[in-house]
Amino acid sequence: MNPDRQRESATTNLRRRADRLMDRVQRYDWIVPFTMVLLAVILALSMDALDRVVDSRLKPVWWLFSGGQTTARQLLSAIAAAMVAIVTMAFSMNLTAVTFIAQHYGTLVIRTFMRNLTTQSVMGFFLATFVYSLLVLRLVHSAGTDESVPRIAVTVGIILALVSFGMLVYFLSHMSENMDTPNLVAAIGWDLERVIHRTTEPLDGEADKEDPPVPEMIGSSIVTADSTGYVQRIDHDRLLALARRHGAVIRLEFDVGHFVRQGDRLATIGPSEDRIPSDIVRKAMPMESKRRLEVDIELGLNQLVQVAIRGLSPGRNDTFSTMLCLDRLGAALSLLAERRFPPAVRRDGEGRPWLVTRPVTFTDLVDRSFEQIHSFGGETTVIAARMLQTMRTVAVHTRRPDDRASLRRHVVAVHEESRKRLSDRIGIEAIEREFKDAMAVLEDGSHSAAE
């Protein structure tokens, strides 16, 4: 590998590690607040130490606290009480927002709302200010005279309180922005695009090669699941190294996001001289009670589909939310059409297969994106027309014949069902127009691919 490619590969790996670290931070809501509280403890102790060092040489200035012990105690007590009230109000607002989102957009969207780093940071700052005030209040109580009051520490506490009130105003605006449908749908779309970039590779103008058939695994052993849940991730590198070390072919029966029941066949291992421990294979495919977005493209699409379906429910009739979701689905599928999916068979340099997987395909993702929306919104002219527009947009970016075939199947299905359900002439004409435009793009791409 030349130095430039090696340097680019190292940069890409570093970026992916940082991306995975950020995902872990966002996934657990307590990490950012806990870190900020810990920093508040360190800041309080540091300010106390600084006060002790410069106490005798500190000259009074207008912005530095100059009151006595009683004033300092009252001030810090008021700050701590105010922070308790603010934190209570912020938690109440957050809970109300989560309830609203669950009712109007679906439970899958809650994790996108809760993963917001700004919300976590603001909540953490309020808690940090409260903890800092309590620690400095303890230092004031331990001060012997008015002259030994930690003036710098109290001043910093006042500054933190003022900043907290400013952040409260920002928090109110931020919460309303986050609950706005366009911003919420956009946040889901951005998270989905990050997952796509993380789990796929650019096509670079090269056509995908078909994997030659894998020989039958005669005399193979079976690894069964020891728990029930969703596959969170698959450590392909670990499984590939394990297969090569033992000279066996490992075939996985499930992919990321699939639901596995206890006792289901998790993997099939080809014959080898050394028996591969089942526990190692299970550890490479951890399972939990719910799916995670970090490497699960289908889950991101499901989030958009759920919001779109909720918009089509009779109780809401919010077609604009559905159209926003269709736009984001089109953007994600257009990106996927220009990316290479992980190979189904992992081989060594000599072409020998070692690991056989069941990766998701573009056709699968197209089906997940349009089937349910079509079922609920096929009788609505604007939704059917927007679906055809979205498919036409995706068709412009498709290069593989199979991808175009999957899009064509959905274009034809939307067109046929719309003609059956719609009765107004204007709606039928709009659908016919969009159908012809979409088919023209698909046919033009087919000819280009054939040439």
Q: pLDDT tens, 204-220?
A: 755 555 555 565 665 57
Q: Is the confidence at residue 307, as pLDDT, over 70?
A: yes
Residue ranges covered by each domain of the chain: 3-179, 294-340+360-450
Instruction: Give the model's pLDDT for residue 347.
Output: 80
pLDDT class of 448 with cuts at 50, 70, 90: very low
CB atoms within 10 A of CB 76: 25
Share of the chain above pLDDT 70, in %: 84
Q: Is the confidence at residue 290, as pLDDT, over 80?
A: yes
The region of weakest confidence among 68-72, 328-332, 409-413 is 68-72
Instruction: Give the model's pLDDT for residue 419.
Output: 81
Least Cα distance to 117 among 49, 33, 44, 43 occurs for 33
Q: Is the confidence at residue 132, as pLDDT, over 90?
A: yes
* 194 and 327 Cβ atoms separated by less than 8 Å: no
User: Using CA atoms in the order 263, 344, 192, 393, what is the torsion angle rounded to 10 degrees?
Assistant: -130
Q: Is the confidence at residue 389, as pLDDT, over 60?
A: yes
pLDDT class of 268 with cuts at 50, 70, 90: confident
Backbone angles phi, psi at 291, to 5 degrees: -80, 155
Q: How far is CA 6 from CA 190, 199, 203, in A?
A: 29, 20, 19
Share of the chain above pLDDT 90, in %: 36
| Cα(398)–Cα(408) distance, integer angstroms | 12
Tell me which residue has tokens 């940069």. Answer: 11
| Cα(384)–Cα(130) distance, integer angstroms | 53
Number of H helices, E strands in the chain: 15, 10
Q: What is the DSSP letter of 148?
A: G
pLDDT class of 38 with cuts at 50, 70, 90: very high
* 313 and 372 Cβ atoms separated by less than 8 Å: no
Q: Which of 104-108, 187-191, 241-245 has the highest mean pLDDT?
A: 187-191
Q: Is the confidence at residue 446, as pLDDT, over 70?
A: no
The region of weakest confidence among 65-74, 127-136, 191-200 is 65-74
pLDDT class of 203 with cuts at 50, 70, 90: confident
DSSP E strands, 51-207? 201-202
Determine the distance from the C-alpha atom of residue 6 to the mean position of all C-alpha atoms in its chain, rounded to a whole number: 29
* 320 and 120 Cβ atoms separated by less than 8 Å: no
pLDDT class of 449 with cuts at 50, 70, 90: very low
Instruction: Give the model's pLDDT for residue 451.
Output: 43
> Number of C-alpha atoms within 13 angstroms, CB side, residue 172?
7
Instruction: Give the model's pLDDT for residue 243.
Output: 86
Instruction: Give the model's pLDDT for residue 24.
Output: 67
Which of helix, strand or coil describes residue 230? Answer: strand
Token code pair at residue 250: 């490992």
Q: Is the confidence at residue 270, as pLDDT, over 60?
A: yes
pLDDT tens for residues 221-250?
888 999 999 999 898 888 888 888 888 888
Cβ burial, residue 261 (10 Å; 0-12/13-18/19+): exposed
Cβ contacts of 193 within 8 Å, gap of 6 or more: 331, 332, 335
Instruction: Give the model's pLDDT for residue 60.
Output: 67
